[in-house]
Structure 1
Amino acid sequence: MTNETAAVTAARLTKTFDSGDTLVRALDGVSVEFRPRRFSAIMGPSGSGKSTLMHCLAGLDRPGDGEVMLGGTSLWTLDDDALTEVRRDRIGFIFQGFNLLPTLTAYENITLPFVLAGKRGDPDIVDAVVDALGLGERLHHRPSQLSGGQQQRVACARALVTEPDVVFADEPTGALDSRSSRELLAFLRHGVDALGRTVVMVTHDPVAAGYADEVLFLADGRIVDTMSDPTAETVLDHMKALEEVAV
């Protein structure tokens, strides 16, 4: 056992959505801890609550009840300004849709968090991330001039240059071809192993989950199982079993 503070902790998270005549319980008392310097994947059938859980963990969506701790900071006791500052300075986001600003160059998109914070980023860190992702020759291109894989690598660089406590990735390979997916996942793995980052990824892809240290399985808004040292094959078998139960 270790006394090391968890990177992210969720305690008794609940979240419901109004769906016409009924309330949908997206999260049903979820409690989970993500350790520092680990690559964790969240998986589950469609509608299991995996994206809702990530959004609550990342401070993007407020749970109906429960608590989220980022290190020693209770996210949902913060006011809006303080929460915005925490998301900007301590959390990195990688989204399936890239979320790049079309009028900015790749370099300007990568360094945008520093502009928003009114800070000057460490050029050595920016250069190291850019080099690791192979973006050196694309820094002056705008998103429309980049391939999907290149755009996702820019989004990944933007999430990492601030040296966040946790990087959250929501289906980061969903819009990529297999080669670009492997490159991005290998870099996330490198970020954990070599740079000491903590990564929490939502994915539906067993191959992507195979890059993680552990997989958290959700069904009907609840954690139903976990798996250490996953492989694409073991994750696929587990997902098939969950989907058969759901049917």
Structure 2
Amino acid sequence: AQVAASALAKELPAGAKVLVCGSDSLASLLSDAGFEIVDSAQAQPDVVIQGYFPTLNWSMFEEAALAVQGGAAWYATNSDATRPTDRGLVPGAGAAIAVLATVLRRQPTIFGKPYRPMLAEAITRTRAQRPIFVGDRLDTDIEGAVNAGIDSLLVFSGAHGKKDLVTATAHAHPSYIGADVTALLRAPRIATLSPGQAVCGAQKVRVTAEGASLVTQPDGVEEQLDALWALAQLAWQNPELAVAAVLERLDLIG
């Protein structure tokens, strides 16, 4: 939301009308940036901006759709389709975007992950010299880091899991993996590739006629993560490689 407010302040004149299809905090940030906040398409807003807001009512979707059809520019803070909770996955901002996209038959300009503005703003604000982006989603967190040209750490405490990792396309390959954010305090996993096999720590995965084969027996989470990282290197090198048998043995990772 802060990135959206900062970016819009650079693009629009002070006093421009903004219809906020999101939280009160987003509206407050935009108001503080000098914009006039409106709640109806009849007010002829210059911009519609969407953000995550779980109690958003349906009438606001209608006003936003009408405003964009009336000529308002359309922006969104992020495109995360889901949001992890302790009860499971729930719809995220991307799901709300899809509601309007179904009507408008196009997509908004997005400030957040996986697009560059948010990460560039974060790097500027923190003055980071060697930034690393930590996240649980390949399609926003990790892809965003790739787009920004920085390192990334995929953690398995949220949306995406081991199968998502090994089938990820090149623009969503993390630099590192870990069980959770505490992996930042440990030495990074390094996998070594050689013809027909990959090794990470004490774990070894080989390519056979039947597909990937786990030579070792990883008992703990960290050992299984080593095996998964080795498997990922082989799977990314050969997208047709059968990996199901190895993934099944990595039963401590989601």
> Which structure would you say has the larger Rg?
2
Higher strand share: 1
TM-score normalised over the length of structure 2: 0.30
TM-score (norm 1): 0.31
